[in-house]
Amino acid sequence: MTLDHLETSNEQQATSNEKPATRFIACTIAYDGTHFCGSQRQNNGRSVQGEVERALEEVLKHSAPISMAGRTDSGVHALGQCIRFATTNPMPVERFPLALNRVLDKAVRVRDSRVVDENFHPRFSAKSRVYRYWIDNALVPSPLLRGIAGHVIKPLDANVMGDAVGEFLGERDFAAWQSAGSPNGPTIRNVHRLDVRRSEAFGTALLEIEIEANAFLYQMVRNIVGALIRVGMGVLTAEEIRHLTAGHDRTQCPPPAPPQGLCLLEVKY
C-alpha cells in the first residue's frame, strides 16, 4: 500500500470514528391533559413528559430527557408548551414533528421543531407565559366543552369581573394565590395582562379569561380564576381581593377553578 493510500485510509477511519455532533432541539407541543397525571413525570400515572420521552427514544434510538417551559397539572391542557432535548441523531430538524407524531399518543402532538443554542432553556429563557381559561356559563353545560371548560351554572357578570382584574395586574406578592405544596421560593410575580371576555365559540354562554405573566406560582392561574368567578357571582368584591392579596394567606382565599378549563396557550421568548 502506498503512503498516499495509507493516509487516505487513516483519514477515512478517523472520519468514521468521529462522534456525531450533539444538537439541541426545541419543539412546541400541544396536548389534551385529561388522561395524564400532569405534564411532568410522576410515579402515580402517565405524564406528558413520559409519553414524549418514550416517543423520542423510539425515534432517535437513544434516550433523550426533556426540559419543559412549565408544569401543568392533571387535566390541564396546552397548545404552546415548549420542550428541549439533546440528540446526536442526524435527522433533519423539520422532520421531527412528523416522525414523533407517528408514534406519540394522539393526545399529544408536536407542532414544530427548531435547532436552538445549548444555553436555551424552555423555562429559564422564557420572558412570559400565556394561559387561557374557558368557563361554560350556560344553565345546561355543553357536552362538547366538558373536557376543556369549567362549568358555572350561576350567571357571571363579565363586566364586573373585568373591573376587578386590576387587583392582579403588575408586579406584586402573589403568596395568597399559590396552592399548598408549592416549593419554597420568591412569590413575587409580574402579571402583564388579564382579560375577561365573552366568546361566541361553541354556540353557548362561554367566558374566556386570558392571563399573561413573567411566571406563575403553583396553581396561581386557577386560584385567580376561582376568585374572579366569585366576583362575577357577586359574592366577592375587588376591594376584598385587594385585602386577600395583602394578607398573603391562601387559606382565606376562594378555592381554585377546575383544571379542565385551563390551557397553556403560548410561551414567549
Residue 26, number of CB atoms within 10 A of its CB: 23
User: Does some domain include residue 215?
Assistant: yes
| One domain, residues 147 and 260 | yes
Please give the average per-residue pLDDT across 163-169, as a whole number. Answer: 97
**pLDDT tens digits along 97-111:** 999 999 999 999 999
Q: Which residue has the cell 397539572?
A: 73
173 is catalytic: no
What pTM does this model have?
0.90
| One domain, residues 175 and 257 | yes
| One domain, residues 77 and 185 | no
Residue 215, number of CB atoms within 10 A of its CB: 16
| One domain, residues 103 and 170 | no
- Phi and psi (nearest 5°) for 97? -55, -45
| One domain, residues 224 and 138 | yes
Which CATH number does the domain housing residue 44 bear? Answer: 3.30.70.580
| One domain, residues 179 and 104 | no
Last residue of a domain, one of 116, 143, 172: 116
Which residue has better confidence, 93 or 14? Answer: 93
| One domain, residues 249 and 166 | yes
Please give the average per-residue pLDDT across 204-208, as a whole number. Answer: 94
Alpha carbons 16 and 181: distance in angstroms, whole number: 51
pLDDT tops 90 at residue 12: no
Q: Which of 73, 105, 195, 249 is catalytic?
A: 73
Please give the average per-residue pLDDT across 244-257, as a whole number. Answer: 95
| One domain, residues 85 and 147 | no
Q: What is the pLDDT of residue 203?
A: 85
Number of domains in the chain: 2
User: Does some domain include residue 4?
Assistant: no
Confidence tier at 16 by pLDDT (50, 70, 90): low
User: Does some domain include residue 13?
Assistant: no
Confidence tier at 6 by pLDDT (50, 70, 90): very low
User: Does some domain include residue 9?
Assistant: no
User: Does some domain include residue 123?
Assistant: no
Confidence tier at 92 by pLDDT (50, 70, 90): very high
- Confirm if 24 and 115 have CB atoms less than 8 A apart: yes
Give the domain extent around 39.
Answer: 21-116
| One domain, residues 78 and 146 | no
User: Does some domain include residue 15?
Assistant: no
pLDDT tops 50 at residue 50: yes
Please give the average per-residue pLDDT across 46-72, as a whole number. Answer: 97
Please give the average per-residue pLDDT across 60-84, as a whole number. Answer: 97
**pLDDT tens digits along 120-130:** 999 999 999 99
| One domain, residues 101 and 141 | no
**pLDDT tens digits along 215-228:** 999 999 999 999 99
Confidence tier at 3 by pLDDT (50, 70, 90): very low
Which residue has better confidence, 4 or 116? Answer: 116
Strands 262-268 and 77-87, sheet pairing: parallel
**pLDDT tens digits along 133-162:** 999 999 999 999 999 999 999 999 999 999
pLDDT tops 80 at residue 10: no
Which CATH number does the domain housing residue 239 bear? Answer: 3.30.70.660
| One domain, residues 204 and 143 | yes
Greatest CA span in the chain, whole angstroms?
92
Last residue of a domain, one of 58, 83, 116: 116
Q: What is the pLDDT of residue 243?
A: 96
User: Does some domain include residue 188?
Assistant: yes
| One domain, residues 66 and 169 | no
